A = this chain, B = another copy of it.
């Protein structure tokens, strides 16, 4: 199996979730994170001083998939999350040796 990790813009989360559902992915795990890259942060002003916030809010999605699905899932995410503007994010794929469903103890693909 593979772990697909995607860093995307937060407002794209709902769309990506729906696209993955439509593809047939039934589960995922999401967390908040901050990104640093080409996309610059913003300035804030408080009482006579200005602050630059370097990091930009991002959402981080993790989906475990079967090997054969990995490329397609990456594709779905990339297509849906794309706005064509700087800061759209990254998606990467890593090998997973085993997965277990906590509820049942099942191993491997059936645990998804």
Binding site for B on A (CB under 8 A): 1-3, 6-8, 17, 26-38, 54-55, 58, 60, 64, 70, 74, 77-78, 81-103, 105, 111-112
Specify which of B17, B54, B94, B101 is in contact with A54 (CB 8 Å cutoff).
B17
**Cα separation A102 to B97 with both chains bound (whole Å):** 26
Contact flag A82-B55 (CB < 8 Å), given A17-B36, A30-B33, A33-B30: no
**Cα separation A54 to B21 with both chains bound (whole Å):** 13
For A32, the closest partner residue in chain B by CB is: B31
| Residue among A35, A88, A89, A100 with max Cβ neighbours from chain B (10 Å) | A100
- A30 & B35 in contact (Cβ 8 Å cutoff): yes
